[in-house]
Copies of this chain bind each other. A is one copy, B any other.
Amino acid sequence: MEVKKDNTEDKIIDAATDVFVQKGMDGARMQEIADRAGINKALLHYYFRSKEKLFDAIFTKLIGIAFPRIGQIIFSELPFSEKLEQAVGTYLDLLIKYPFLPAFIVKEVNRDATPFFSFIERSGFSVDPIKRMLQEAMDRGEIRPMKPEHLMVNIIALCVFPFAVRPIINHVAFKGDDKALKQFLAERKDEVKSFVLKAIQPE
């Protein structure tokens, strides 16, 4: 049940999101954003004083989607395998909904990481609780011992990477067949879960 937004600011944000995600900060044009929002350039500056300010707003919004709070899952009393299943499932649902997020974030974070850094500071995001949770699971013998940083990166890599290189996979593995690619990405949920579970199971 989506809320109907028809005020100008939201129209601008929607249009700017589309354009920035597709073209990136460097490739985006204020005129195109104005056109897509159905307004003119003057009004664009009436709402957001500069391209940079507008981009920051969009970037912050999108990074907030890509770095969701997963506290409830982490702090639940479920066994690790079920935490993993929930986390991977939730995250892949999100990626299927926003398939262009990974490429956008890779692009912009490598261009200028400071907006990302300030988001992290503002949001208070930290990996420490996740690391602690993993360490405890290892101590309980639910997971084989390994550096938690590697496990975290591995899980995220398996989820995110296929979306970041979508055009490559689509062409090389599926010869441009969009249906097959979509099917493949849908399968990732089970694939990542079982792949990780086997990889971390103790002796």
User: Which residues on A are within 8 Å of B, measured CB to CB?
Assistant: 23-24, 26-27, 100, 103, 105-107, 109-111, 113, 116-117, 120, 125, 127, 144, 146-147, 149-150, 152-154, 156-158, 160-162, 164-169, 171-173, 184, 187-188, 191, 195-196, 198-201
Chain B: which residue is nearest A152 at the CB level? B173
Q: How many copies does the complex hold?
A: 2
Residues of B within 8 A of A125 (CB): 172
Alpha-carbon gap, A81 to B48, bound state (A)? 56
Alpha-carbon gap, A24 to B103, bound state (A)? 13
Residues of B within 8 A of A172 (CB): 120, 125, 127
Chain B: which residue is nearest A173 at the CB level? B149
Alpha-carbon gap, A160 to B157, bound state (A)? 8
> Distance (Å) between the CB of A187 and the closest chain B CB?
7
Known contacts A173-B152, A195-B154; A103 and B113 CB within 8 A of each other? no
Known contacts A110-B107, A120-B172; A161 and B167 CB within 8 A of each other? no
Residues of B within 8 A of A147 (CB): 187, 191
> Distance (Å) between the CB of A178 and the closest chain B CB?
13
Alpha-carbon gap, A24 to B171, bound state (A)? 22
Other than the given A23-B26, A120-B172, A196-B199, 9 more pairs (CB < 8 A) read A106-B107, A113-B168, A113-B171, A116-B167, A120-B171, A127-B172, A127-B173, A153-B162, A153-B169
